[in-house]
Structure 1
């Protein structure tokens, strides 16, 4: 039970001294969550109240099922943008149908996460490399910022998921700027930035919300066409079943899977970061998938759109001293009280103020230091980052991350198809065998012996490269060559194609009256050597633990020891 309900593990150990800290953290995060949730719902193309709905049941479910004590779950900017981008490609007519599809999307996201969690498939997120995430995040942040300019200017600017179209639309409508909206938005940005610099612990977002609402109310700025949130329905979200059809599933599954993986990546990366600070490991990656999946699925029945962990609110939660997910429960209580009693107060909240909150929050997602680092150290990964960034900006949000992942995988395949393959020589006066190109005159090179090291697994993608390079090394040695030693320490796997290739290569080398030895093969690789039949063409006596033993055997076949035989031949197939 504790495996599926982690709160059963930590709740009995909960100390009374923790409660006060959780209360403070919960109240602090709640103050931020309410306006942020409403702002992020706007990014998703939903009425602001749906940001509050998404801050109730999903947060409660995660509080009981999640394994991280500090992360704050709820609406986030990135996922909100993906919701808008994904649903924007569908032919949806009417606000009501759009809302229903957003809720169904949440259900599908949760379903994918739950299935992946139950199947222990958390490793899939590893295919989303840091260059891809960095390029995608920076591009998405720019799109989010420019998507809010219409609220900042108070102008009717057509929305788009393509950055260049947003820029063009903004320039074309600059003349329609409402000076009051612009003034409120600009003031909001300046207040948040000022508080971040001089009053870091004070909730600047709350100040912006309160001041801007009071300004609109007392000066009656609505008559000057200032855009406000307007009527926010009071009361808790009602239970609502989904109308599940095959057509809806086929339309929505690609964006749902993207959101499921990206949302999980955000949650697990944030949770791991706080684990390192606490020096306490509590996160179970697969259980996190179950927790997020359950949160999104159950939340979808109570009018919540997709949620995940928020970096900014999680950081605030941690800094406020949160000790458990009880802090999240306190935040939920604040949201519930707001929906029950305080919704009339948000009528005069200007959308420009919410836009300023979004723009400042999202600006921090633009990372310039990491691309600089890659440009200096890893230009191939910089290319992946740059292409992901440009495709996300110009083609689309979903296309950007999908193509970015494919580019990262192609780079991986390219690297493994032509791995490091070098000739080794003995360092003079030692038993070390190192790359002759690195150590130059310090190594002894023999004409009758070729020692090579292949620094990768052997699989169908690099068999041709292995074979051509090996015979290139052999031909360079000339007619005096008597034996080839393959240092297999770095070869952790040999697939069926590579096994057949190796058997053929060993046979070709033997026809040249040259022996072939394998040294340093680890246990799993030795198992494959015996299981695949490589040992039959090689002769079991030509397996060695170390390169030195192979060289000694070549010089004197009687140097073999019983211990060396037992270790070198050990495998699961004899």
Structure 2
């Protein structure tokens, strides 16, 4: 990973690499680039077809982002391109709005890439890369598992040689299963697809072996030699146009604006989360640093460029990045070599895969989608926090039931609600003194904790703001009412309180008045200076009184004991 840069080097990390590039890296990057290309071609074609587009556009969407990321990308190892996690989103918009027209399908996909790119670019420039952190791990697992099953369901008709369904995942699955039961499947098409899966899985243990390329070449030769497309109606890729992508503005119709915007937003969210996680994991692994905001800028620029050059949305690849690493990639020169080889393929031998069967492409996507599943960590989450596990299951069910875009939207809403709920209903505690343990602790967790007569120690474990201010007041007054001895002082242990807004300040002012009627004084301990500054700005500081603030809970307790005739002997004083 590249170190933190300044000036133009920060915006164009690829330029700074030129000065530091070592001669010993050349042969490694070239070799890794050729190895990577063996995977880029079949995967690019497969993801294009899975997205409802002609295969050629998957190769265009492979070349362009590799070139852009080599210039703007902060990671020396990350590979960008078409990704299985995005195919279901693109397909959902394309199937619903393209009406079977491949030109319109490309226009919709290209504009979604541009929308997603602009959102990513905005997130990076405004330094909003942290936004993806709001999606908790269980929620990410939920929608990614939902995307994985949706992608797999969308590929089953191709695997069985059946017509594709334009309905949602569940209806599509029902139609596929029904057709198979009625023996309407093309069994030769299925056999070719299963053979592809078998070869790919067989080559998995051999990291440097281009198993994917071997699989598609083998089945292409078989289909072409035995003319299975004619004798058994095995659908094939057909001829790929020769030449490189050209600049084109994907103009869409007014009726397509809303679905494209929704699709672009969903793509931006998924690609931001995936790229952020993958780049961070490689940064940690290699002991380096990756600027997440620059990562967003590079991802955004790559998507915008791809949308204008006859491609569709791209993301980081969790399957091709490890291939580049295992092959010995040192820098983004590997990506440049990969892009060059793919370009050479388009110029010299575009028809070499004309007999590639659709079921083989479906097999490639099925294996990729399978790798998106996360089960083992969900088992751990179920053991330690069942609530978060079921939250993940809800997001999974939403994507599978309502489709990818709607499902992801629901997942975002659930994430926001879950985030706000933690602040709306935070943990609070009444504190007491436990013999033999320093400090003051929650009396519900320490049954032998003792409370100082006349003193209520109350801890609030969250920022104090409009949504929870009323609850703060209710719980504190309830604690006063439930006290075993008449309360004279209330001390709020305020270290966890990181902010107080205007509404909360007014609520605290009301609380002071209520407590005064019962001759109870409100105090605060361990309050942070920035929070105290806000209280002063609100005019609440004078109302509370300077002498009501203490640096520690212990100092507040000591002052209370000194100013009141209390029979209390602390265990440390015995």
| Residue of structure 2 aligned with 1:546, choices 552, 559, 563 | 552
| Residue of structure 2 aligned with 1:235, choices 235, 238, 243 | 243
CA contact (8 A) 2:248 2:310 kept: yes
Render the CA deviation track for 1:162-206: whole Å, top value 9, x for unaligned. Answer: 332122111232222222211111111111112214x34311101
CA contact (8 A) 1:392 1:401 kept: yes
DSSP-derived class of the 1:3 partner: helix
| Residue of structure 2 aligned with 1:177, choices 171, 185, 194 | 185
CA contact (8 A) 1:132 1:401 kept: no
Q: Tell me if 1:65 matches 2:102.
A: no
| CA positional deviation for 1:486 | 0.6
Q: Which residue of 2 aligns with 1:270?
A: 278
CA contact (8 A) 1:447 1:477 kept: no
What TM-score does the superposition give when structure 1 sets the normalisation length? 0.93
Please give the alpha-carbon distance, in whole angstroms, between the structure 1 residues aligned to 2:557 and 2:504.
25
Q: Tell me if 1:322 matches 2:333.
A: no
Please give the alpha-carbon distance, in whole angstroms, between the structure 2 residues aligned to 1:244 and 1:154.
32
| Residue of structure 2 aligned with 1:190, choices 195, 198, 204 | 198
Against the structure 1 CA distance between its residues 510 and 355, is the aligned structure 2 distance closer, same or farther, given a 3 Å change threshold? same
Comparing 29-38 with 346-355, greater Cα deviation is found at 346-355
DSSP-derived class of the 1:324 partner: coil
What TM-score does the superposition give when structure 2 sets the normalisation length? 0.93
Q: Which residue of 2 aligns with 1:565?
A: none
Structure 2 spans left out of the alignment, 5+ residues: 1-7, 565-574
| Residue of structure 2 aligned with 1:10, choices 17, 37, 42 | 17
Please give the alpha-carbon distance, in whole angstroms, between the structure 2 residues aligned to 1:279 and 1:169.
50
Please give the alpha-carbon distance, in whole angstroms, between the structure 2 residues aligned to 1:109 and 1:295.
10
CA contact (8 A) 2:241 2:350 kept: yes
Q: Which residue of 1 aligns with 2:221?
A: 214
Q: Which residue of 1 aligns with 2:38?
A: 31
DSSP-derived class of the 2:9 partner: coil
Against the structure 1 CA distance between its residues 170 and 251, is the aligned structure 2 distance closer, same or farther, given a 3 Å change threshold? closer
| CA positional deviation for 1:244 | 6.1
Q: Which residue of 2 aligns with 1:450?
A: 456
Please give the alpha-carbon distance, in whole angstroms, between the structure 1 residues aligned to 2:436 and 2:256.
72
| Residue of structure 2 aligned with 1:507, choices 513, 516, 535 | 513
Render the CA deviation track for 1:311-351: whole Å, top value 9, x for unaligned. Answer: 00011112222111111001000110110011111111111
Please give the alpha-carbon distance, in whole angstroms, between the structure 2 residues aligned to 1:490 and 1:406.
26
1:27-106 alignment, distance < 5 Å? 27-90=34-97, 92=99, 94-106=101-113
Please give the alpha-carbon distance, in whole angstroms, between the structure 1 residues aligned to 2:437 and 2:208.
61
Please give the alpha-carbon distance, in whole angstroms, between the structure 2 residues aligned to 1:437 and 1:240.
66
DSSP-derived class of the 1:298 partner: helix
| CA positional deviation for 1:5 | 0.7
| CA positional deviation for 1:478 | 5.4
1:428-467 alignment, distance < 5 Å? 428=435, 431-441=438-448, 443-467=449-473
Render the CA deviation track for 1:393-448: whole Å, top value 9, x for unaligned. Answer: 1111111111112112212222222211111112336651111222222x332221
CA contact (8 A) 1:507 1:537 kept: no
Please give the alpha-carbon distance, in whole angstroms, between the structure 1 residues aligned to 2:259 and 2:143.
23
Against the structure 1 CA distance between its residues 245 and 354, is the aligned structure 2 distance closer, same or farther, given a 3 Å change threshold? closer
Comparing 382-391 with 93-102, greater Cα deviation is found at 93-102
1:384-533 alignment, distance < 5 Å? 384-428=391-435, 431-441=438-448, 443-477=449-483, 480-533=486-539
Please give the alpha-carbon distance, in whole angstroms, between the structure 1 residues aligned to 2:260 and 2:163.
29
Render the CA deviation track for 1:43-85: whole Å, top value 9, x for unaligned. Answer: 1100011100101112101110011111110001111221111
Please give the alpha-carbon distance, in whole angstroms, between the structure 1 residues aligned to 2:229 and 2:434.
83
Against the structure 1 CA distance between its residues 179 and 58, is the aligned structure 2 distance closer, same or farther, given a 3 Å change threshold? same
Comparing 85-94 with 32-41, greater Cα deviation is found at 85-94
CA contact (8 A) 1:157 1:173 kept: no
Comparing 293-302 with 172-181, greater Cα deviation is found at 172-181
Render the CA deviation track for 1:539-570: whole Å, top value 9, x for unaligned. Answer: 01111110111112222359xxxxxxxxxxxx
Please give the alpha-carbon distance, in whole angstroms, between the structure 2 residues aligned to 1:485 and 1:172.
68
| CA positional deviation for 1:268 | 1.3
Q: Tell me if 1:375 matches 2:387.
A: no
Comparing 120-129 with 336-345, greater Cα deviation is found at 120-129
Please give the alpha-carbon distance, in whole angstroms, between the structure 2 residues aligned to 1:532 and 1:290.
39
Please give the alpha-carbon distance, in whole angstroms, between the structure 2 residues aligned to 1:374 and 1:242.
43
CA contact (8 A) 1:118 1:286 kept: yes
| CA positional deviation for 1:211 | 0.6
1:552-563 alignment, distance < 5 Å? 552-556=558-562
CA RMSD of aligned residues (A): 1.8
Q: Which residue of 2 aligns with 1:134?
A: 141
Equivalent pairs, count: 554
Q: Tell me if 1:123 matches 2:123.
A: no
Render the CA deviation track for 1:499-525: whole Å, top value 9, x for unaligned. Answer: 110111112112211121100011221
Please give the alpha-carbon distance, in whole angstroms, between the structure 2 residues aligned to 1:381 and 1:320.
38
1:131-170 alignment, distance < 5 Å? 131-160=138-167, 162-170=168-176
Against the structure 1 CA distance between its residues 164 and 249, is the aligned structure 2 distance closer, same or farther, given a 3 Å change threshold? closer
CA contact (8 A) 2:108 2:252 kept: no
CA contact (8 A) 2:52 2:95 kept: no
Please give the alpha-carbon distance, in whole angstroms, between the structure 2 residues aligned to 1:212 and 1:91.
31
